[in-house]
Every structure is written in C-alpha cells, then in structure tokens.
Structure 1
Amino acid sequence: MVSPVIIQKVIDGALQEPQPDLLAIEEPLEIRLGFGPIDNRQQRSLSVTMRTPGADGPGADQELALGYLYAEGIIREASDVVSCRHCVQDATKQGNVLRVELQPSVLIDWQLLERHTYASSSCGICGKASIDAVRASCPATMTSGGFRVDAAVLQRLSDRVQAAQRAFSYTGGVHAAALFDADGQVLMLREDVGRHNALDKLVGAALWNGQVPLQEYGIFLSGRIGFELVQKAWMAGVPVLVAVGAPTSLAVEMAREAGITLIGFMRNQRFNVYTGVERVVVAEAIGYGNK
C-alpha cells in the first residue's frame, strides 16, 4: 500500500540531505460485470477508478466493487454476486481488472446508471437535477428515531480514527472511512487515496458481513463531504455521517431529504451540525435568546 521514495526537504531556505519517505500507491481498477441469463451471458466494463491496492488486505478490491455496486443500486444484497475475481496478468501478480459475475436474475438499467454516473461526476454542477438522478435508486427517507450519539462521543472520534489509520500514518496521503457505534467505538476502517473508494470499501465489507442496512451505526469520513458520499450513506441506511471537512450545499440538501444527520468540521472539540440535530445528545441547549 506504500511506495518508497527519496526526497530532499528545504527548511528555512536550506536544502537538506536526501532522506527516505513513503508515498501512498495509486493504481487504476477496472470493474467489469458479467450479467444476463445463463444462455446469453454478457460482459461490460462498468467503471475505472483510481485506488490504493491492498490497503486493507487482499480483499480490498472486492469490498470496493461490492460497495460501489450497492451504492449504484445494481445489487441489493451480497447474494446477488456469484463471484468477484481479478483477471490475472500472470502466475504471480493479480491485475488491475476485477470481474464481478452477477446472478442471472439481476437486471441492470444501463440508461439510469449512465444518468446517475454522469450526475455524480458533474460534482453538483446540475444542482437539483443531480439529486433527481439518484433519488430513484435510494430508499425512503430515514426517520429521526433510533440511533443517537452523545456530543462528547463525537468529539473523541477524530483521534480514535486517526489512531487506526495505518496507511495514513506512513504516508499522510490517504483518506479513511470508519464505522462507529453509539459509544464511539471504531468497529471497522478502510483507507484509500480516493474518498469515495474508502467509503465503498467500508460499505462493501459491511454488506459482505450482513450488516447492511447500517441503521445502528454512524460513519466518519476524513475529508470533505460531497453529495455523492451522502448518496452512498443513504443507500447503506446510515443515519449519522460525520466528517473532518466541510459539506457542499448539495450534500446538505441531499442529507436533509434523506433524513441523515450531517456533521462537518469535526475538529478541536467542535463541530457543525447541518441536518438532523435531534440525533445529537448534548448536555445543554443554548437558545438564541440566552447569553
């Protein structure tokens, strides 16, 4: 998951001696689908994403693919997948192509998928139309009952997640997505150079473990929150989404529609609640008229 490199630092204008450093590996992964009835199987390339191979063990690419397929609404459960294997380059090295064989009963709406993919890649340029493009595959709006978390617990999350980020500790160049419970325990963490990939890996692992929908958990993200990440959380049934960085306007809009508690700028014992404040347990609520 890391690659060695020799660097030279400049400190106070002075060039220092060469020294070793580590970089996060970034390589492409192509996800191919095998689909259709038994007597007419087809293959089609679904996506190519840049990811960190092996960052979370030998099954990381499979988790990434499962999470991505679930977020896109292609599969609804792990049993929709017959197999998920690398196309091997040679006898000693796995390739950067992963073929996912779907059950013959799984039907794919390629037109809807292409519209959704376009909307996601546009990074919110088309505004409300982006939400319309993904709404069709998302579940119903989540209710405010059930999972709640104490503000003091949330404030300890950043340190707990960072302590569990193995690849980040070496490189400083990867994102993380972590699953946590109401006590703030980090139950599972996945890392990748891509924010979306880290979350796909996490959801894919949870799907494989039979934990989806994730109604009794929250997810912590190491970066900012775009609307695509909120959509993935909505698909997985996550009621609370927390991030170190800021959300976009479209992310807040989608979180409000989904019924997700969206929290950003989680740092230095402070955070901002953008939607769903009723899931955050606080010691005292100060009204606008109080001093």
Structure 2
Amino acid sequence: MSRVTARRKMLRITADGQIQRPDSLAVEEPLELRVDGQSLTVTMRTPGSDIDLAHGFLLSENIIGAADDIVSARYCAGTDADGQNTYNVLDIQLRTSTPILARNFLTNSACGLCGKTALDEVRTHTRFPLPAVEPFVDTAVLATLPDELRSRQKVFEATGGLHAAGLFTPDGTAVAVREDIGRHNAVDKVLGWALREGRVPAHDLVLIVSSRASFELVQKAVMAGVPVLGAVSAPSSLAVDLAAESGLALVGFLRGQTMNIYAEPDRLRLPTPPARRPPSIDRPVPLTAHSG
C-alpha cells in the first residue's frame, strides 16, 4: 500500500519561460476510524502507519491507555470503482466496550469553549501526569533536532508538502519519525508507535514537530506523558497555557541555535552565559619628562 505520493500535471512559470511537466504531490485521503462497529471520526491523512495513527488518536482522546486495550485493528469494507480495497476504513475492536458516540472528544471540546474549560479537560483526563520538573535535555541537543527530523523526511524531499513529527532521546537519537499531510496526524502516528512499543508514558522522550505548536499538539503530548515539545514555528496562546498548567516544556521557533522557551524552562539544561568582563578602568597616562 505505497500511496504516499502521486503525479499530477503542472505548468511551471519562471523568468525564462513556461514548462509543463508532472509533479510529485503528497497523497491526501480520508481515513474513517470505526470503534466496535461505530463510526468514530474521519480524518484527512497521508496513507501509511494508519494503525499507529489510530492508536495515537485513541490515546490522545483518552479512549485507551495501553496498546492491549485494542484487541484488533483491521481494514474493512471500502472499495473504489474497480472494486479494490481503498484501505481508508479502519475498524478497531476494544477490549472493553466504550460508549463512543456519547463522548465529547478533547479535540472538539476545545472549540467554542473558554480556554479554562479546555485546560481542565486535558488536565483531568490524562492518565500519565508529567514527572517532577528537572533538567532533562540540553538546549544544544534540542537545537540539532529539527535538522535531524528534516533529514528523515523522505516524502517531504519528493513533494515539499508534508508535516513531520519525531520522538528523540535526550541525547538526540531519533527513535521514531512519521510524516503526514496533517501535523496532528503525524503526531498521532509517532505517539501510536510509542504506545505499541511500550514507550508510553513517554517520560524519557522529546517530541519535535515541523510546524507550529497548537493547543491540539500540546494536548497530545500531555496525554502521552511527553515532557518536552519543540516546534519550528510559533505556539498559540492556549498551547502555552496548557503547557504551563501541565508542566510541559514548550519550545517554539526552534531554528538553528535560537529558540523561544514558553513554558517550564527548568526542564532544559540552559547554556552557561558568557562570563561578564569587568568594567575597564581608565588608568592615568604617565607623564614623560621633556628637557628644555
């Protein structure tokens, strides 16, 4: 099921003229998640790592807390005009039945409600509160991670149209990287991988995203027990509020050697500030005797 890129005709305009040629684009297709036979949600995603995506989504929505909460996950009815399986419908069977359709999902509860309500929803629902605040990762290591993430974006290299999310150890080792047309899907995919690998709560990992840091992404990190989230772009105001309320170190504009730390700087080992030079003291210039 290699459907992550597709070719489409394109007319390119340059200062030297025009040229028509095919271009590689990131594939975007719907994925319907069904839980115990009931339609739960439809998300637009790039095909691939769908099982991880489902695990990560259900974890962030507090429907599951461990990989073995899911008995099975399989592609089901969904065919194209030629009768071929589209692999766009995924049916999840839970070990314990949950009244899915009666739930208000955290991602939806943040819309149209006040910020305080949204913060309370996440704080009271997370199964993995973050550990005590203490230095966890060097900012010098953190500064290298966007480039490490970028170097593993194979589909982005071909299309320029995908977000990425990566989980790293404090020494900068990449343990999982996923790409997707949606930044929230990319995060669900890596967190779903972590859940299936027994790495949740992810108290020993750093999450890096190739996008801005929205409330939704901070929510997903908190629900999985990730202590540090770094983004190459800006956070939203509610994302910062949630990070501060939850004890998550939130870093934005993570580019090169510069970064903005918006919450919990004590989780990061900061660089030693350069020694201040003592103020110079003007010394009198000695007088030289001159003969007359």
TM-score of Structure 1 vs Structure 2, range by shorter chain = 0.7 to 0.9
- Aligned AA for 1:100? I
1:234 to 222, 237, 253: 222
Q: Aligned residue for 1:20?
A: 22
Alignment of 1:102-141 (within 5 A): 102-103=94-95, 105-108=96-99, 110-111=101-102, 113-114=103-104, 116-120=106-110, 122=111, 126-139=114-127, 141=129
3-state SS, counterpart of residue 63 of structure 2: coil
The equivalent residue for 1:49 is: 43
Per-residue displacement from partner, 1:217-255 (whole Å, max 9, x unpaired)?
100000001111111100110000000010000000000
Does residue 32 (structure 1) correspond to residue 60 (structure 2)? The answer is no
Instruction: Flag the 1:252–1:80 CA change in 2: closer, same or farther, 3 A.
Output: same
SS for the counterpart of 2:217 is: helix
2:166 is equivalent to residue 178 of structure 1: yes
Deviations 1:2-41 (A, max 9, x none): 01122222223x542112211000000110010xxxxxxx
Matching residue of 2:57:
68
Q: Which residue of 2 aligns with 1:152?
A: 140
Q: Which residue of 1 aligns with 2:131?
A: 143
1:84-111 Cα deviation digits (max 9, x unpaired)? 00114457534311100011x3434654
Report the counterpart of residue 6 of structure 1 in structure 2.
9
SS in 1 for 2:130: coil
Task: Report the residue type matching 1:274 in the other structure.
Answer: Y
Judge which range, 225-234 or 88-97, deviates more: 88-97
User: Which of 66, 78, 84 matches 2:73?
Assistant: 84
Q: Tell me which amino acid in the other structure corresponds to 2:67.
A: A
Q: 1:200 to 1:234 in 2, by over 3 A?
A: same
In structure 2, C-alpha distance between the alignment counterparts of 1:170 and 1:78, rounded to whole Å: 33
**Residue 109 (structure 2) pairs with residue 100 (structure 1):** no
Q: Cα deviation per residue 1:254-287 (whole Å; 9 max; x = unaligned)?
A: 0011100000001132100001111221232489
What are the Cα deviations for residues 32-66 of structure 1, in whole angstroms up to 9, with x where unaligned? 010xxxxxxxx311111000012xxxxx1111111
8 Å Cα contact 2:133/2:247 also seen in 1: no
Q: What secondary structure, in the 3-state scheme, does the structure 1 residue paired with 2:22 have?
A: strand
Where structure 2 has 5 or more consecutive residues not aligned to the other structure, the ranges are: 280-292
Give me the whole-angstrom Cα distance separating, in 1, the residues matched to 2:273 and 2:148: 26
Which one-letter code corresponds to 1:148 in the other structure? F
C-alpha RMSD over aligned residues: 2.3
Letter in 1 for 2:69: D
Distance of aligned partners of 1:61 and 1:238 in 2 relative to their CA distance in 1, 3 Å threshold: same
AA at the equivalent of 2:106 = H
Query: By how many angstroms is 1:185 displaced?
Result: 1.4
Task: Say whether the 8 Å CA contact 2:40–2:101 is kept in structure 1.
Answer: no
SS of equivalent to 1:234: helix
Residue 251 of structure 1 corresponds to: 239
Partner of residue 208 from structure 1, selected from 178, 193, 196 = 196
Runs of 4 or more off by more than 3 Å in structure 1? Answer: 88-92, 106-111, 143-147
CA deviation map 1:173-225 (0-9, x unaligned): 11011000111111110110011100001111111111111001100000001
For residue 46 of structure 1, what is the amino acid of its counterpart?
L
Structure 1 residue 140 displacement after superposition: 6.2
Aligned-residue identity in percent: 43
1:118 Cα shift? 2.4
Amino acid at match of 1:241: L
Alpha-carbon shift at residue 115 of structure 1 (Å): 5.3
The aligned length equals: 271
TM-score (norm 1): 0.86
> Structure 1 residues 15 and 119 mapped into 2: Cα distance closer, same or farther (>3 Å)?
farther
Letter in 2 for 1:32: R
How far apart are 1:158 and its partner, in Å? 1.4
Contact 2:129–2:225 (Cα < 8 Å) also in 1: no
2:182 to 191, 194, 205: 194
State the shift of 1:138 in Å: 1.5
Distance 1:143 1:213, change over 3 A: closer
Q: Does structure 1 retain, via aligned residues, the 8 Å contact 2:119–2:245?
A: no
Residue 159 of structure 1: how far off its partner (Å): 1.1
